[in-house]
Structure 1
Amino acid sequence: MAGIASLGVGSGMPLSQTLAQLEASENKRLEPLDKQMKSYEAKITAYGKIRGQLDKLQKASEDLKKFDKIVATKVDDEFDAFKVTTDGKASVGNYTVSVTQLAQAQTLQSTKVSDVKETLGETLGEGNKRTLVITQKGEKEPLRIELEDKQTSILELRDAINKKEGNVSATIVKAKDGENYLVLTSRKEGTDSKMEITVEGDNKLNEFLTTSSAKGMKEIVEAKNADLTINGIKIERQTNEIKDAPEGIVLNLKKTTDSNKDNIDKPEIINVARDIEPMKKAIKAWTDAYNELNSTYKSLTKYTQVEKGEAASKDNGVLLGDSTSRMIMSELKSFVTSSQSTSDLDTLNKMGIKFKVDGSLDIDSKKLDEALKEKPANVKEFFMGDGKETGFGTQTYNYLKKTLQSNDGTLDIATDGVKKRKKTLDSQIKNTERNIAATMERYKNQFQQLDKMVNSMTNSSASIGRLLM
C-alpha cells in the first residue's frame, strides 16, 4: 500500500507494522471465497473429463446400434482363378465355382495408314459437317463426335475420341515405318460394349472407320461375357467382377479354372465362415470405454476416511457427493444389468460380460466367442434391436445423446449451474476486494492523522520542557 512504510516516522509508533497486520487480517475474508472458487473450477474440469469419457462411450454405443454393419464373414483361402471378398450378407457355407470364360473388351483395328497426319475424309468445305457415331448397346446414348476437315487423320481421330472420355479409348500402333494403325478399345468388358461405328456426312471416312465394311475396322479382340457356374448354376455377366451371385460375395475373376488331364474342369471351392472379430472388437470397444469412464468416475468421487472431528481429507475427489455424475453412472449400470426382449441371449451376462468387484466390466472371451459363432442373429438382435428404441446399443446411444446434448442435456445443465455460481462468486470476490481496499485506505488515513497528532504533541512537549529549563 502506497505510503505505508513512512507511517510512524514522526510519532515513533509501529504504525506501518500494525497496518500490515490489519491488511493481512482483512485479506483472510478472501480465503474461503478463493477456496470455493477453486472448488468450482475443479468441478467444471471434472465434468469435462466425464464428458470426454461419455463421448467415447457414445461412439462405441453407436457402433453397437449399427450392429448389422459389422456382422461379417470371411474366406481364409486364396484361389487361382478369382479373388473373393465377402460382407455380412453372405451366407455361411461352401460354394463350388468353375470359370469357363473371362469377360473381355472388344478391340478394333483400322487398315494400314502410312502417315498419321494424312487426312482420310472428304473435303466438305465450310458449313458442312461430318459426325463420327460409335454405338454400344450398354450405353444410354451413342458417342457422337463432330469432325472438321482437318480432323480426319488417325492422329486427330485419336485425340477427338479420347477427349470425349466415353466408353471407347483410342490409340495409334506403329508396326514399322510407314505402317500405322488406329486401334479402338472398349473401356468396359462384355458383349454390351461391342462397338458399331459409322460416319455421317463423309462416305470416304465412313468406309475407313465403319465396322460393316470389308475395308473398315476389323475386330482383333472379340467382346466376351464372363461365363461361370456356382454350385451347378450357370451364370453369365458382362464383367469379370461378379457382385450378386451369390449374395454377399464378390468374385473378381482372374483366369479360367484349370482342367485335369482328361480336360475335365476342376472347380475351386469357397468356404465362407463367420468372422466374429469385427463384432468382438465393437463389443470390447464398448466395455473398454465403460471401464475408462468407471475409472475416471471413481477417481473423481474418491472418499478418504478421517478420524472423527478431523477436517475432510484433501485427497477426496472433486465430485464426491455430486448427484449428476452419480445419476449418470447409475443409469449406465442399469443398462448393463437389464435384459432385452430377445429370444435367448437377453443379457450381457449370458454373453460373458459382467461386473467385477471394482465396478469395471470383464469379458469371458470363450463365452462371447461361443455366442457370436453359434447365435450371431440373437447377438445382433440384443445390441441393435429395432435401431430406434430397443436394443442395448440403441438404448445406451439414445441415453448418452440426450445426456450430452448442448444446452438442455443433463451434463450441460449441471456444468452451467456451476458456471453461474462461479460467476456470482467472482462478483462477490471483486466486491470484497474493493471493500478491503476501501477499509485499508480508511485505516491508512486514520493512522496518518494519528501519526501527525502524536508527532505534534511530542514536539509541543519538547518545547515546554526547554522553556522550563
Structure 2
Amino acid sequence: MASISSLGIGSGLDLNGLLNQLNEAERGKLEPIKQQIETQQVKISAYGELKGALSGFQSANETLNDASLFQSLSASASGNAVQAAAGPEASPGQYAIEVEQLATAGSLATQRVNDLDTVLNDADATLDLTFTDDSLDHGVAIAADSTLEDVRDAINADSDAAVTASIVNDGEGYRLAVMSQETGEQAAVVDANFADLVTQTTLEDEAVLQDGQDAMLEVNGIAVSNASNQLDDAIQGVTLSLQGTGNSTLTVEQDAEAVQQAVVDFVETYNELKETADKLTAYNGEDGQAGDLIGDSAVRSIESRLRSDLASVVSVGDEHTMLADLGMTLRVDGTLELDEVKLETALAEGPGEVGAFFAGEAATDGMAGRLDTTLEQLLDTNGALEGAIGGAENRIDSLNDRYTRTEQSIDNTIARYQKQFGQLDGMLAQMNQTSAYLSQQLSSLPGQNGEGGGMF
C-alpha cells in the first residue's frame, strides 16, 4: 500500500504512520501461508532427492535382472604374445597359442634423389603402383615439374592409392617411401615406375623393397594364417590381437568379476537409498531439527515394500533362495551388508544358480525381477512417490490461491481504513477550525482582556 503523505495534515495526527502500522499488521496474515508454501516446496525437493536415489537403485537392479550378465565370458592370456576378448558366442575353454610371425605391411623405397628441390618430370605423368593383389593396382597422377615432396603429396591425396607416402633421408639423399595401408602378403606394394617417371635428373642406387607378410600362428597345434594381426574367427566368439611372437595360454571362462561388481553396485545403491530416506525422515533431538519428510507415509511405504522384497524367499533355483545365501544380509539399521568371500564362493561353485536367483527363468521370476516390478510401481506416474509430489504441488496451488485471496482482502481492508482515516482527518480539521473560531470570538468579548469601566 502506498502511503498518503497528506493524510493527518488537517488533524495534526500521524494518521499516515498509523495506517502503515495497520498495513504491516494485516500483512502478517500472509506469513503463515508463505511458510506453508515453502514447506511444500522443500518436500517436493526432498521427494526429488529420494526419487534420484530410487532410480539409481533401479538401474543397478536392472543389471542383475539381465540373464545375459550371468552368461558373459571373459578371456585372459598369459605372456605377451596375445591379447583376447570374448564375445557372446564364445565357449569356455583353454587354448595353447604360438605366434610364429606378425602380419606386416609391404613397403617400397624408391631410388635416391639428391635434393628435395629437384624437379623430377617435365610433363604430366602417372606413378603406377603395383601390388601382390593386382586388383589394388593404381596409377597416381603426377603434375609436370613436381618435386619429391609434390609426388608424396599427390599420393597421399589419392584415396584409391592404398598406400601412405613419406620421404626418408638415408644419409646420402632422399627416397620416396610408400607403405601399404593394410598388412598382409596380398595387400603388399611390390613395385612402382618411379624411375620411368623421372626425366630431369639422374637417380642413384636401387629401390628398396620390403615384402608384406601374413600373420602365422598355431592354435592348439592347428596352423592359422591371417592378413591382419587381429583375428576374429580363429576361435569362435573370441577376438585375438597378436602382440608379438611367442607362446600364450588363452583361458575363456565365466566372467565372475562382472557379476560380482553388479552385486556390489546393487548393495551400494540400495544403501545410498536407505541413507537418503533416513536423512529425510530423521529427527535430531539435540537441536530440534527434523528431516524434510519426517513422518511421511510415502517414504514409509517405499521402505516397507523394498524391505519385504529383499527379505522374501525366491523359489527359482535349487541352491539359493535368499540373499543371505549369497552373502547379503539386512543389518539392524536396514542397510545391506555384503560378504564378498561368500559371494565369490557361490559364483565359483555355480554361476548359473546365482543367475537363476537374480534373473530367474522369466523377467519377473528372480529376486531382481521381483524388485524391478516393485520399483516400476513406486516410480510410476500413479505410484506412491509421484502421488506424494502431486499432492504437494496441489497444496501449493491451493495455498497460492489462498495467498491471493488474503492479499486482496488485506488491500480492501487497508483501503477502507484509509478512507475512514481521511474522513476522520477532515472531521478533526473542521473541529479544530471551529474551536479556533470560538476561541477568537470569546476572546473579543468585553471583560475578557481586563479592559472596560468597572467599579474600581
Q: TM-score range by the shorter chain?
A: 0.7 to 0.9
Does the 8 Å CA contact 1:135/1:196 hold for their aligned counterparts? yes
> How far 1:435 moved relative to its partner?
0.7
Q: Which residue of 1 aligns with 2:164?
A: 169
1:436 pairs with 2:436: no
> How far 1:389 moved relative to its partner?
5.3
> How far 1:224 moved relative to its partner?
2.1
1:122-161 mapped onto 2 (5 Å cutoff): 132=128, 134-135=130-131, 137=133, 142=136, 144-148=138-142, 150=144, 156-161=150-155
Q: Which residue of 1 aligns with 2:203?
A: none
Work out the CA distance in 2 between the residues paired with 1:254 and 1:102: 8
Aligned residues: 430
Stretch of structure 1 that moved more, 18-27 or 167-176: 18-27
SS of the residue corresponding to residue 50 of structure 1 reads: helix
* 1:3–1:62 distance in 2 versus 1, CA, 3 Å: same
Of the three residues 199, 205, 226, the one matched with 1:237 is 226
**1:381-424 superposed Cα distances (whole Å, 9 cap, x missing partner):** 4444579655555665576567557x767644542342233123
Q: Which residue of 1 aligns with 2:272?
A: 292
Work out the CA distance in 2 between the residues paired with 1:222 and 1:76: 30
Of the three residues 187, 190, 200, the one matched with 1:193 is 187
Q: Which residue of 2 aligns with 1:309?
A: none
Work out the CA distance in 2 between the residues paired with 1:292 and 1:65: 20
* 1:5–1:299 distance in 2 versus 1, CA, 3 Å: farther
1:418 pairs with 2:392: yes
Q: Which residue of 1 aligns with 2:214?
A: 225
Work out the CA distance in 1 between the residues paired with 2:146 and 2:132: 22
Q: CA RMSD in A?
A: 4.7
1:378 pairs with 2:353: yes
* 1:68–1:136 distance in 2 versus 1, CA, 3 Å: farther
**1:330-361 superposed Cα distances (whole Å, 9 cap, x missing partner):** 44334433426345435433212232222211
Work out the CA distance in 2 between the residues paired with 1:76 and 1:144: 41
SS of the residue corresponding to residue 192 of structure 1 reads: coil
Does the 8 Å CA contact 2:190/2:211 hold for their aligned counterparts? no
- Give the AA of the match of 1:194: A
1:356 pairs with 2:331: yes
Work out the CA distance in 2 between the residues paired with 1:294 and 1:8: 67
- Give the AA of the match of 2:270: Y
1:74-85 mapped onto 2 (5 Å cutoff): 75=76, 79-80=79-80, 82-85=81-84
1:70-469 mapped onto 2 (5 Å cutoff): 71=72, 73=74, 75=76, 79-80=79-80, 82-87=81-86, 94-110=94-110, 117=118, 119=120, 132=128, 134-135=130-131, 137=133, 142=136, 144-148=138-142, 150=144, 156-165=150-159, 166-175=161-170, 177=172, 181-195=175-189, 220-247=209-236, 250-257=239-246, 267-270=247-250, 276-302=256-282, 315-338=289-312, 339=314, 341-342=316-317, 344-384=319-359, 391-393=366-368, 396=371, 400=375, 404=379, 411-450=385-424, 453=427, 463=438
Does the 8 Å CA contact 2:131/2:186 hold for their aligned counterparts? no
The TM-score, its normalising length taken from structure 1, stands at 0.71
Query: Larger radius of gyration, structure 1 or 2?
Result: 2
Q: Percent identity?
A: 29
Work out the CA distance in 2 between the residues paired with 1:441 and 1:27: 13
- Give the AA of the match of 1:132: D
- Give the AA of the match of 2:40: Y
Structure 1 spans left out of the alignment, 5+ residues: 207-216, 258-266, 306-312
Structure 2 spans left out of the alignment, 5+ residues: 199-205, 449-456
Work out the CA distance in 1 between the residues paired with 2:260 and 2:16: 74
> How far 1:425 moved relative to its partner?
1.3
> How far 1:363 moved relative to its partner?
1.2
Work out the CA distance in 2 between the residues paired with 1:20 and 1:158: 89
**1:8-31 superposed Cα distances (whole Å, 9 cap, x missing partner):** 99498x988987886576445435
SS of the residue corresponding to residue 245 of structure 2 reads: coil
The TM-score, its normalising length taken from structure 2, stands at 0.73
Work out the CA distance in 2 between the residues paired with 1:378 and 1:431: 65
Q: Which residue of 1 aligns with 2:39?
A: 39
Does the 8 Å CA contact 1:151/1:157 hold for their aligned counterparts? no
Does the 8 Å CA contact 2:62/2:368 hold for their aligned counterparts? yes
* 1:184–1:24 distance in 2 versus 1, CA, 3 Å: closer
Does the 8 Å CA contact 1:108/1:183 hold for their aligned counterparts? yes
